[in-house]
Amino acid sequence: MYNEEAHCEVVIERACNMIWPRDRIIIQACDDSTREDVKLRIDARVAQMQQRGHHCLATRRAVNKGFKAGNMINGMSFLNEVPWEFVAVFDADFEMPPDFLFQTIWHMQQDSRLGFVQGRWSFTNGYDNMLCWMQQVCLNYHFAVEQRARSWLRTFFGFNGTAGVWRRTAMEQAGGWNMESTVEDMDLSLRAYLNGWKFKYLHWVGCPNELPPTMSAYKTQQYRWNSGPMVVIKQLVTRIWTTDAVTFWDRISCSYFFFRFIYSAFLTVICLVCPAIVIWLDPWSWTWAPMAFLIAGNTSAACFVWFAGLLFWPYFLMQTGVGYFRVYAMLNGLAGSKKSGTWKVTKKFGKGGLGNRVYHKPYMLELVMALLFFGYAFAAVWHGVYLLGSFCWVMAWTFVMISFGEYLF
């Protein structure tokens, strides 16, 4: 936790309410908070749980070094004399079901080669606004399709950082949490997989949590989620193809897992340059090659119709608009910029907490993109490409909405 004023108390109580023999479980509130009022609230709730008979404690460190990974390493250092075997990880805004441990540990006991099991995220505020709904659609696809399929195929997929259980042996063999990484979950997952460990996703084990409800909080999260994997693949791509602990198919699955970031960036760039190509370089014609491009693109997006329904096009436009920020984050990660190695906490508000928000100024990247697509729209109409002009016009207003999204959501 880090200054989690909206969730710091309730998450401790939820963790203590999980059903498990009390002499076989330790609840840790790993607290990196800098605000004294939040620390006092955490200490009071921990003391309350201790009085109820729970083995609960708050762990802190003198210097907050190493982001979330450093916080968890510090927490586990308090257990050096305890013969623990598994560790369940939850972010502060997660609501773990009381039977979470019974639903997850059983699988770890049944298969000694499982390094971790991952639960499904569900969302408490998925319909609060358009931004939350868009994230919910995207993450529902990630869990219901991507994680589910990779788990069933026994190929590589990453730990999602929370709502899961790790095996101590797998963590230690892989080298533990990486304090230099802003995506410590993905970093450890890949190293463990390259040591021969397997993972399992449990779709029926749902853990509700809060989506970032503001554009500034969302972009903070997306920057880390897209720059961090680029740093990981730069560091470990050689190991993927040189280790003897995995098969050739495992190497392919790991490579494809990271290639999807490049693929999505490529499609985003295509959306940027296509209008210019169609208007000035290669006018559109209904021949086989352009039609094949349209069919391939729409087929790959068809699965989102299931999750987005009639609102597929607003979802598509928003995702495309945010895509340019993701590409910017990925380029920062590949370049090793200072910002890509810095952790900025995603602000969580809790129910009814948006009244305390601080508004971010309009985002310049999306404003520049809006001006570009307004130019595309007028150029397309001037050259008689009216369908393309309509798309560019709508896309331009999408960028305007994202730029001023802090005031709209």
Active-site hit among 31, 91, 93, 185: 185
**Token reading at 248:** 């050739």
Tokens, residue 5: 């004023």
Distance CA 126, CA 217 (A): 15
* 32 is an active site residue: yes
Tokens describing residue 245: 């602990």
Report yes or no: 341 and 223 within 8 Å, Cβ to Cβ.
Answer: no
Euclidean distance between CA atoms 109 and 167, whole angstroms: 10
CB 239, CB 139: distance < 8 Å: no
**Residue count of the chain:** 409
**Taking a C-beta distance cutoff of 8 angstroms, is the pair 399, 373 a contact?**
yes
CA distance 154 to 242: 20
Pairing mode of beta strands 114-123, 198-209: parallel
99 is catalytic: no
Q: Which two tokens stand for residue 251?
A: 């190497």
Query: Would you say 203 and 119 are in contact if contact means Cβ atoms under 8 Å apart?
Result: no
Nearest to 86 by CA among 56, 57, 55, 117: 117
| The residue to which tokens 């970031």 are assigned | 261
DSSP-derived secondary structure for 237-303: HHHHTT-SSS-HHHHHHHHHHHHHHHHHHHHHHHHHHHHHIIIIIS----SHHHHHHHHHHHHHHTH
**Strand partners for 28:** 57
CB-based contact 201:187 (threshold 8 Å): no
Cα 221 from Cα 326, distance rounded (Å) = 10
Give Cβ neighbours of residue 285 (< 8 Å, ≥ 6 apart).
none
The token pair that represents 356 in the structure block: 């305390």
31, 32, 91, 250: which is the annotated catalytic residue?
32
Q: Catalogue the active-site residues.
A: 32, 185
